[in-house]
Amino acid sequence: MPEPATPIRILVVDDEPDLRELYTLTLVREGWQVDEVASVEEARSRMEQQRFDVAIVDMRLPDGEGLDILAWSTAQRRGERIIVATAYGNAAVAVQALKMGAFDYLTKPVDLRQLRQVVRSALVQGRSNGAQNQDPQRTALQAMVGESAPMLAVKDTLRRSARGMAPVLIHGESGTGKELAARAVHELSNRAAGPFVAVNCSAIPEHMLEAEFFGYRKGAFTGAMASHDGFFSAAAGGTLFLDEIGELPLSMQAKLLRAVQERKIRALGETAETPVDVRLVSATHRDLQRCVAEGTFRQDLYYRLNVIGVTLPPLRARLDDLPLLVEALLARIRREHERPGLRLSPQALQQLRLYAFAGNVRELENLLHRATALASSDLIGADDLDAPAEAAHLTSQPAPAHSGMNPQRGMNPQGPVVESGFGRTPPLTARLDAASGQMGQTAWQAPAWPLDLPDYLDQIERNLLLEALRRTRFNRTAAAQLLGLNLRQIRYRMERLQIRDDHADPDPYDGVR
């Protein structure tokens, strides 16, 4: 996290000295300043003397409850993000605390990793509910969750781009948050008090584009029963965001170019042009330079729109932000589903790091929603994160030159060593050998040519599944761990490959997941 202008200050309110010391040591190691008090009265007194960014408050205190501090802080419009922690709480108390304005809720014994994660999330989302009193840059960018180097660079560009009227072109894959970036440009600018009009260019029928962009007058065409202002007029004094600008047909690109150059529009049915005062922010997932080379996008319009270019990194390029993103998304899901205790296990977070996330943050959000629905408790485990078939797995990517492949000796018979966010993963056969206490001796041999590749790969997969099942006495949970799968994935593969488990030992997790 970048060093702010003033130090981060956190207040710990708990009547147990050992817990206060534990929380303090944990938070001080993060570089934050921590104050400790043991009662409601001491907390109020300290908060009147000093403003804090976050307060971690025990629910049961000698002279009252944590909710008393929360209610007082809210009434005073102080703005500290208050995190309630208690060993006596339940779902009803947690919901009450959240409705009263608590930022989050922790259950004792508190997981210190989760404590750090929740505090970081509170700091990222802003120091107070009184956003109008904060640095506007902090407020505008808080929705763009992430403190990794790529995201810090993006935020710095957005800050600098907000100073003038120059058009901004945002490029990024689907789900990377292009509209959030556009809104940040708007909110950071001196046009923040004006309208922000977002338009999805790909969602408008081609024959309606001109009318929707520039407006029309009554009788301009069949069905025009009344005059209608277009997007440019609606965004007057503010920002017009054109999402998926690369989908505009060439005929409309020419008309948009004139509006950008002249800062004037002419509604259908009008003879005179009307000046417009808008700032243009565009976004696309396409490579517009390639589109220009292929003749599907006008070069002059591209240069007009790309005065300031911003490229949003895909999620797989900023996995350091994953804990913050997960916590921010779970906070929203907790409110929507009224499940204040919902959280992700460390194993589940580790598994998320292995996904390629082709759909980026949007895919992550969908995955968490699905896991919330499937989870049998408020703790989302690795087995609940059963990604859809189209969600490519990082470890399924082709092996790089250094990952167990020898160009002079061919494929490593042990299989490639896969790099992941958690270090080097042992090759599959090595894991199987370790499970049975012996080393494999059979080198890979090329099959007879020609072959049916899908059938050949299915047979290899079937043999590996059977070997893992045999070595674990057909315990599917243990076999799945050997293969780097979760329980649902191995069940699906066994069914697809028609592997029966008639001789299976009882699986202690059957009926639980």
399 Cβ partners below 8 Å, 6+ apart?
Answer: 405, 416, 418
Determine the structural domain holding residue 473 and report its residue range: 397-496
pLDDT, tens digit (0-9, with 9 covering 90-100), for 223-264: 888 888 899 999 988 899 999 999 999 999 999 999 988 888
Query: Do 270 and 148 fall within a single domain?
Result: yes
Query: Do 389 and 404 fall within a single domain?
Result: no
Q: What is the CATH number of the domain that holds 114?
A: 3.40.50.2300
pLDDT above 80 for 62: yes
Domain membership of residue 513 (yes or no) is no
The first and second tokens of residue 222, run together, are 């069949």
Domain membership of residue 64 (yes or no) is yes
- Distance, CA of 450 to chain centre: 45
Domain membership of residue 509 (yes or no) is no
Owner of token pair 């090329």: 446
Average pLDDT score over residue span 110-115:
80
Domain membership of residue 109 (yes or no) is yes
Q: How far apart are CA 68 and CA 66, in angstroms?
A: 5
Domain membership of residue 164 (yes or no) is yes
For residue 286, what pLDDT is reported? 92
Query: Do 194 and 334 fall within a single domain?
Result: no
Query: Do 160 and 301 fall within a single domain?
Result: yes
Q: For residue 109, is the peptide bond before it cis, meaning its omega torsion is within 30 degrees of 0? A: yes
Domain membership of residue 502 (yes or no) is no
Average pLDDT score over residue span 465-477:
86
Q: Is 402 buried (19+), middle (13-18) or exposed (0-12) by CB count in 10 A?
A: exposed
Query: Do 126 and 155 fall within a single domain?
Result: no
Q: How far apart are CA 42 and CA 57, in angstroms?
A: 12
Query: Do 308 and 353 fall within a single domain?
Result: no
The first and second tokens of residue 509, run together, are 């997790």
Q: Is 195 buried (19+), middle (13-18) or exposed (0-12) by CB count in 10 A?
A: middle
Write the Ramachandran bin of 375: left for phi over 0, alpha for psi from -120 to 50, otherwise beta: beta
**pTM, entire model:** 0.52
Rg of the chain, C-alpha, whole Å: 28
pLDDT, tens digit (0-9, with 9 covering 90-100), for 79-107: 788 888 866 545 456 556 766 777 776 77
Q: What is the CATH number of the domain that holds 491?
A: 1.10.10.60
Q: What is the CATH number of the domain that holds 364?
A: 1.10.8.60
Query: Do 119 and 144 fall within a single domain?
Result: no
- With cut-offs at 50, 70 and 90, classify the pLDDT of residue 384: confident
Looking at the 3D structure of the chain, how many domains does it have? Answer: 4
